[in-house]
Amino acid sequence: MTLSKPLYLLLLAGGVSYASSLAVYQDNTFYTYTPTTEFIGFTKGVSAKCEGSSIALNAMETCSPTDRFCKELQSLESVKQEVQVVDTNNKVLSHLLTLPQPTSLDAASWIESAKLISVEQAALNYKKETLVKQLNHKEQRFRKQAPSKVAQETVGVCQKELALTLPRGNVSFTTSYEADMDGKEVSVTQKLSIVNRSGVDIQADSAMFYYRMANQNVRPIHFSPWVVRKYEPRPQKKYKSVQRSMMVEESAMMSDSVMGMVASAPVASYEDAREYKVTNLTVPSTGVPLEVEVLSWKAALDCEVKAYPYVNTKAFHVCSFTPKYQIDSNNWKVKSGSKVINERAVGEYRDGNYNLYTKVEDDIKIQRKAIVLKERETGIFGGTARKKDGFTLTLTNKSDKVKTLTLIERIPTSTTDEITSKLLSINSKTKVDYKMLKDGEIEMYLTLNANQTKKIDVLFEISYDQDLKVNY
């Protein structure tokens, strides 16, 4: 039997399945798919459109017993019912104990009955305790997966594309980075962690994730001339104390309001800065993060030990590299092969490169103390006061290995010609290799032998008019 061409095309069109898609923004999530039933999920705050036209959603009185959420909800309700049964039984037993006491002839029998009732009550109380814990666990588990215990359905089955708009936080994502350091090279892996708490199990042929809002308020801006006018002092307005108080209160309220205004296997790809694409995505509404690898690349690595004693006397390791792709998150996991160096390392863009602060150098101890000088009192030379000051750095290498580090220090710097500052000397038993940079910054390049302690004295002088008072 041969089908006519029009009939064949009609049957083919009837079997067309529209591609499903997901778009996750920071404020909304859009999920488009072809439904087979009216059932949406255990969700709330959702709007729906069928082929571009809004469609109503109703609460379902019952849901399919085969649905995963329905099973969990039925299990939860079953435990809740058991708690109610235990409560009722306990109340009945308590009522029995309040009945009039029997005559002395059967008092022994009554006492024995009372003992049995007490034992049963104790057993019921223990059972209730256990059931309440179980109920709380099930309640928490359900809340992590879905925002509502009421199932939603469309009024009639949408025969074509159904587009759901889910509220902020129902579906969320974060990016994370892992750096595997091996000598002079770093292997960077970027992952996407997706969490679905919408109450809607999602299957998408294509999913996009954006680090931006879907609804952005961009107001038109047009050129306006910058006008210079003759200065005319404005008359000062006077307000009564009561009015001023009200204005302060209103301003505070407005500020608070603004503060209040102001979440097959998948294959992920990097589309653009802060934009990611995942194909063949299946992410059930479980509240459990689904991790997908987005990118993997390598870069040349330059690591050194640094310290800023004027801020913190701990030395640390920092590694610098040039990223091949934009870094969207500054939280890292750093490892070397199977050895984890830091689960919560921090990075930043700096001077055209990316710096990754990997760990504290515990083998180097640094102390910084002010130098007490006899000449610390200000001397006067021709109307100019000259004040000497300084500090001592004591560095100890506690390990049995040679350590090298770059130490960044500073002396006061002036923003006015009335005050000048200059470095007098950097003294140590062995020569210190250093560089004087702008704004009073000093870079020292040090090598500490095994178990070595090195002292460095830094002296500077501040000159200013004797009539001035300075502080630093």
User: Coil, strand or helix: which one is 337?
Assistant: coil
C-alpha 68/C-alpha 150 separation (Å) is 14
Q: What is the pLDDT of residues 49-86, one digit of tens each?
A: 998 899 999 998 777 777 888 888 888 888 888 888 88
Average pLDDT over residues 90-107: 68
C-alpha 299/C-alpha 186 separation (Å) is 6
pLDDT beyond 50 at 93: yes
Taking the complete model, does pTM exceed 0.75, yes or no? no
- Please, what is the Cα angle at 318 between 315 and 324, to 5 degrees? 170
pLDDT beyond 50 at 253: no
Cβ proximity of 61 and 153 under 8 Å: no
Structure tokens at 159: 């025969």
On whether residue 424 sits in a domain, the answer given is yes
C-alpha 373/C-alpha 350 separation (Å) is 38
CA atoms within 13 A on the CB side of 223: 1
C-alpha 360/C-alpha 317 separation (Å) is 6
Q: What is the pLDDT of residues 407-453, one digit of tens each?
A: 999 999 988 888 999 999 999 999 999 999 999 999 999 999 999 99
pLDDT beyond 80 at 252: no
Q: Using pLDDT thresholds of 50, 70 and 90, give the confidence band for residue 470.
A: confident
Q: Using pLDDT thresholds of 50, 70 and 90, give the confidence band for residue 233.
A: confident
- Alpha carbon separation from 184 to 57, 237, 321, 351, 359 (Å, rounded): 58, 67, 10, 20, 17
As beta bridge partners, residue 165 has 30, 47
pLDDT at 66: 76
Helices (H) and strands (E) counted in the chain, each on its own, are: 4, 26
pLDDT at 200: 93
pLDDT beyond 90 at 354: yes
Q: What is the dihedral of CA 400, 402, 405, 411, to 10 degrees?
A: 80
Last residue of a domain, one of 107, 129, 145: 145
Q: What is the pLDDT of residues 138-179, one digit of tens each?
A: 888 888 999 998 999 998 888 889 999 999 999 999 999 999
Lowest-pLDDT range, 176-190, 339-353, 371-385, 428-442?
Answer: 371-385
On whether residue 105 sits in a domain, the answer given is yes
On whether residue 296 sits in a domain, the answer given is no
Last residue of a domain, one of 145, 163, 184: 145
C-alpha 359/C-alpha 402 separation (Å) is 18
pLDDT beyond 60 at 262: no
Place of tokens 């009192």: 377
Cβ proximity of 139 and 76 under 8 Å: yes
Residue type, 284: P
Q: What is the pLDDT of residues 187-231, one digit of tens each?
A: 999 999 999 999 999 999 999 999 889 988 888 888 888 877 766
Residue type, 182: D
Q: Greater confidence, 304 or 105?
A: 304
Q: Using pLDDT thresholds of 50, 70 and 90, give the confidence band for residue 4.
A: very low
On whether residue 230 sits in a domain, the answer given is no
Last residue of a domain, one of 145, 168, 186: 145
Q: Greater confidence, 93 or 153?
A: 153
pLDDT at 71: 85
User: Coil, strand or helix: which one is 354?
Assistant: strand
Structure tokens at 46: 């959702």
Average pLDDT over residues 86-103: 74
On whether residue 218 sits in a domain, the answer given is no
C-alpha 71/C-alpha 74 separation (Å) is 5
On whether residue 456 sits in a domain, the answer given is yes
As beta bridge partners, residue 187 has 180, 298
On whether residue 191 sits in a domain, the answer given is no
CATH number at residue 444: 2.60.40
Q: Greater confidence, 95 or 313?
A: 313
Q: Greater confidence, 370 or 383?
A: 370
Domain that holds residue 97: 68-145
On whether residue 245 sits in a domain, the answer given is no
pLDDT at 426: 95
Q: Greater confidence, 155 or 235?
A: 155
pLDDT at 319: 95
Count how many domains the chain has.
2
Mean pLDDT of the chain: 84
pLDDT at 18: 64
